């Protein structure tokens, strides 16, 4: 009987040490802390006449061993990024300029990533009044293909915000030409959607101009979409 004990013991060891088929844990999304959403950031350390260094902060997220901070200059749409294992990072960014920022969480054992919400803020400059943040175009997303409704219309939706909280109106430009030149409506600060007439198998372009009570304006940039 003893000659059968060794292979059985080896089988038991291999079974007990078998591989773990559970996938690696995916990282969670980080909660942003500072600069606060739709705020004026006044705590930056001046680097020179044009730049100040701002420290961004967020809460730790689960199953995460590194973060990538992205801050996008909304005047130029140029991003700045930095990676760190900490829950804060500093960037030198333009003064008197609107930015969006977000944080991507990563786990070295997983291919999945998680991205935080995106917050907007103004990096303080010499001005005492600020233009509205560029409207964030929500739907249709750029590059989307959409279905028109039975009235041959598509609903355009966006989000607007302003540090001074004094948005006066949104002007919507829409056409099948790029850049869009046709005004299809102007709404007040409380209305951030409008329906537009469309035709099938056509590409359309749209953008939103935001105006505040001081007469300051901002341009959302152009989105495009195709109608079935």
52 and 100 in a single domain? The answer is yes
Q: How many CB atoms within 10 Å of residue 211?
A: 19
Give the range of the structural domain holding residue 47, as residue numbers without chain letter: 32-123
pLDDT digits (tens, 9 = 90+) for 51-90: 999 999 999 999 999 999 999 999 999 999 999 999 999 9
| CATH assignment of the domain containing 201 | 2.60.40.10
Tracing tokens 């996938």 back to the chain, one arrives at: 23
What's the whole-number average pLDDT of the chain? Answer: 91
141 and 62 in a single domain? The answer is no
Q: Map residue 11 onto helix, strand or coil.
A: helix
pLDDT grade for 12, boundaries at 50, 70 and 90: very low
- Domain-located, residue 26: no
Number of structural domains, the chain? 2
pLDDT grade for 134, boundaries at 50, 70 and 90: very high
Q: Taking residues 211-218, what's their average pLDDT? A: 95
pLDDT digits (tens, 9 = 90+) for 23-52: 888 999 999 999 999 999 999 999 999 999
What is the enclosing helix (H) or strand (E) of 46?
Answer: strand 45-46
CA 127 → CA 17, 46, 76, 97, 130, distances in Å? 66, 15, 19, 10, 7
Residue 193 has pLDDT above 90, yes or no: yes
Asked which of 96, 123, 150 is the last residue of a domain, the reply is: 123
Determine the pLDDT at residue 71: 98
Contact by Cβ (8 Å): 226, 202: yes
Determine the pLDDT at residue 23: 81
Contact by Cβ (8 Å): 73, 99: yes
Residue 130 has pLDDT above 90, yes or no: no
Determine the pLDDT at residue 24: 83
- Domain-located, residue 23: no
74 and 147 in a single domain? The answer is no
- Domain-located, residue 25: no
pLDDT digits (tens, 9 = 90+) for 85-129: 999 999 999 999 999 999 999 999 999 999 999 999 999 988 777
115 and 177 in a single domain? The answer is no
Determine the pLDDT at residue 19: 53
Q: Beta 183-188 vs 202-212: how paired, if at all? A: unpaired
- The 8-class DSSP code of residue 42 comes to -
Q: Which residues pair with 32 in a beta bridge?
A: 58
- Domain-located, residue 86: yes
């Amino acid at each position: 009987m003893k000659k059968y004990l060794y292979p059985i013991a080896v089988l038991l060891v291999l079974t007990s040490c078998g591989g773990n088929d559970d996938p690696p844990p995916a990282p969670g999304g980080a909660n942003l802390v500072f600069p606060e959403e739709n705020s004026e950031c006044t705590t930056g350390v001046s680097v020179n006449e044009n730049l100040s260094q701002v420290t961004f902060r967020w809460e730790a997220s689960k199953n995460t061993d590194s973060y990538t901070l992205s801050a996008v200059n909304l005047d130029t749409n140029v991003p700045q990024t930095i990676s760190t294992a900490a829950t804060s990072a500093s960037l030198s960014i333009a003064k008197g300029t609107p930015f969006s920022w977000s944080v991507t969480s990563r786990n070295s054992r997983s291919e999945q990533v998680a991205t935080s919400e995106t917050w907007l803020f103004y990096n303080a400059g010499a001005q005492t009044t600020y233009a509205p943040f560029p409207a964030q175009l929500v739907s249709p997303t750029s590059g989307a293909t959409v279905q028109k409704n039975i009235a041959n219309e598509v609903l355009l939706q966006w989000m607007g915000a302003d540090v001074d909280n004094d948005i006066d109106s949104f002007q919507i430009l829409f056409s099948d030409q790029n850049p869009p030149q046709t005004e299809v409506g102007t709404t007040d600060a409380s209305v951030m959607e409008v329906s537009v007439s469309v035709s099938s198998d056509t590409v359309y372009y749209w953008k939103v101009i935001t105006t505040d009570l001081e007469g300051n304006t901002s341009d959302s940039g152009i989105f495009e979409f195709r109608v079935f």
